[in-house]
Amino acid sequence: MVNTTNTTAANAIPASGENYSIQEGAFEGPEKLLEIWFSPSAERLRAHQNLSSSEESSDTDLETSERTNRNTRRRSYAAVEGKTGLRVIPKAVLDKMLALVKCTVLNVISNDYVDAYVLSESSMFVYPHKIILKTCGTTTLLLAVSRLLEIAKSYCGFEKVWRVFYSRKSFLFPDRQVGPHRSWEEEVAFLDGFFDAGSSYKIGKETQDQWHLYLTKPSDDVLSHSVSSVIPHHLRGVMQEHEIQSGASTPVTSDTEDLSPFGNAGYSFPDQTVEIHMTGLNQENMKKFYHDIKQTPSGSIGGQWVDKETGIDQLYPLANIDSYLFEPCGYSSNGLWEDRYFTFHVTPEDECSYASFESNIPVEKSHANMGEQSPIEALITRVLDIFDPSSFTVTYFTSHHKEHHSHSQMVRSMTLLNGYKRTNRILYEFDGYDLVYGHYAK
């Protein structure tokens, strides 16, 4: 989102706010999204941690001070200023990890459940039991995997991951990506080098609108192997890839007991994640996402101005929002509501216009005007009103729950939406949750 140009040594920690991905001509908006879960919930952390081990890591890139103090940390990392799990990892350690990705931290907000980072290129959310890293441009997101596993073991006692998700929309400028992101096949092979039993999917009819997904099954033996055992051994395994064609669907039965595969035990709603990827944005609407030295300041103040001008601040009025307006254009925001989040990222330039919205806040909790629309339909309509794209895709995950079937509402109701026609729809069932994919165009 930032349009400034800087260079830095490959292994140095970059200055705060430095952005690496600005290309001559156009910026790559579609994000890479990685989620690594070390436990199914914050409440079940201890069952997935080895709090007594004094085994020294064989990794050579941990600093001497980390090796010296590892055993002391293992006695004290249960809580730091009220935080547990991954949230005890110092920001300086996360900064070094992000340097591998080629992005930096701009702002951080926190509540009792999660720390939300606005990055120079998208966002990061750190929960006690999982980390979500989302980056755009030509960032090398997957290069963070090895380091994340190292620090999760060193600081938190996590010996093995519980589940992994990696996804992205098709790139606008795929030839500008660098390894390991030069192709989906390369990304999958890279992930297979770290994780067992991964499956990959290309979802969608048209190549330019496809959504890519890699995921692993929940691991029942989370302490049976050390993290060092999942360091790549020359990219083992055979990629399982399924290219799901237009109109294809898998029958879904969601009347099973809610087994809380995403840690939603104790909450009234199943886990839901909605992503909207928009292209061909209305350029009149996009004027609000440009920095103007005389009228619109950049940074957090400019981000707050955008929130009010666009109505983003009214989508979830009770959320705590951290927004940022870049120079000369571009916008990012994170919002926290209890243990859930939402995030926007906008690249407004006409030649590469793209915007994304993602949220795991239950759709029923948004303040979109529903009327006769279903909650998911009303939320999507409200987001579309802000950007007025020429086309968009929606992905909607929801965990299996015997009382909530909002995924079926989306399948039934969203044939025509706010002047858009659905050109593709896919309904798929995975372990513990359902996925609905839809593509729409004017």
CA distance 388 to 194: 40
pLDDT in tens, 273-320: 999 999 999 999 999 999 886 677 889 999 999 999 999 999 999 999
At residue 124, the pLDDT reads 98
Residues 6+ apart with CB under 8 A from 414: 376, 377, 380, 394, 422, 438, 440
Tokens 């858009």 appear where?
420
- Whether 345 is a known active-site residue: answer yes
Higher-confidence residue: 175 or 258?
Answer: 175
* pLDDT over 90 at 414, yes or no: no
Question: Of 129, 212, 277, 345, which one is the catalytic site residue?
Answer: 345
Contact 372, 27 (CB under 8 A): no
Question: Of 120, 146, 219, 332, which one is the catalytic site residue?
Answer: 332
Higher-confidence residue: 330 or 258?
Answer: 330
- Whether 31 is a known active-site residue: answer yes
Range 230-240 average pLDDT: 34
At residue 189, the pLDDT reads 96
* pLDDT over 50 at 163, yes or no: yes
Q: Identify the band that residue 57 occupies on the pLDDT scale cut at 50, 70 and 90.
A: very low
* pLDDT over 70 at 411, yes or no: no
* pLDDT over 80 at 98, yes or no: yes
- Whether 122 is a known active-site residue: answer yes
Question: Of 31, 121, 187, 349, which one is the catalytic site residue?
Answer: 31
| Strands 272-279 and 241-244, sheet pairing | unpaired
* pLDDT over 50 at 253, yes or no: no
At residue 248, the pLDDT reads 36
Among 201-205, 293-297, 301-305, 389-393, which is the least confidently predicted range? 293-297
Q: Identify the band that residue 146 occupies on the pLDDT scale cut at 50, 70 and 90.
A: very high
Reduced to 3 states, what is the DSSP secondary structure of residue 211?
strand
| Strands 433-441 and 420-430, sheet pairing | antiparallel
At residue 142, the pLDDT reads 97
Nearest to 98 by CA among 161, 8, 170: 8
Range 177-192 average pLDDT: 95
DSSP state for residue 328 in the 8-state scheme: S
At residue 208, the pLDDT reads 83
At residue 363, the pLDDT reads 81
Question: Of 21, 41, 103, 136, which one is the catalytic site residue?
Answer: 136
Range 342-365 average pLDDT: 92
pLDDT in tens, 6-27: 333 333 444 444 444 444 455 8
Range 315-340 average pLDDT: 94
* pLDDT over 70 at 96, yes or no: yes
Range 399-421 average pLDDT: 64
Q: Identify the band that residue 122 occupies on the pLDDT scale cut at 50, 70 and 90.
A: very high
At residue 403, the pLDDT reads 55
Q: For 39-142, where are the E strands, in sequence order?
A: 105-110, 115-119, 122-126, 130-135
Question: Of 28, 150, 349, 377, which one is the catalytic site residue?
Answer: 28
* pLDDT over 70 at 222, yes or no: no
Q: Identify the band that residue 265 occupies on the pLDDT scale cut at 50, 70 and 90.
A: very low
* pLDDT over 70 at 53, yes or no: no
- Whether 136 is a known active-site residue: answer yes
Question: Of 21, 122, 323, 333, which one is the catalytic site residue?
Answer: 122
At residue 180, the pLDDT reads 96
Domains of the chain plus CATH, in order, are 32-244 (3.60.90.10), 272-441 (3.60.90.10)
* pLDDT over 50 at 426, yes or no: yes
CA distance 160 to 196: 11
DSSP class per residue in 21-69: ---SS----SPEEEEEESSS-GGG-GGGB--S--PPP--SSS-HHHHHT
At residue 416, the pLDDT reads 66
CA distance 195 to 189: 10
At residue 354, the pLDDT reads 94
Task: From residue 257, give the alpha-carbon distance in Å to each of 43, 270, 404.
Answer: 19, 11, 11
Mean pLDDT value across the chain: 78
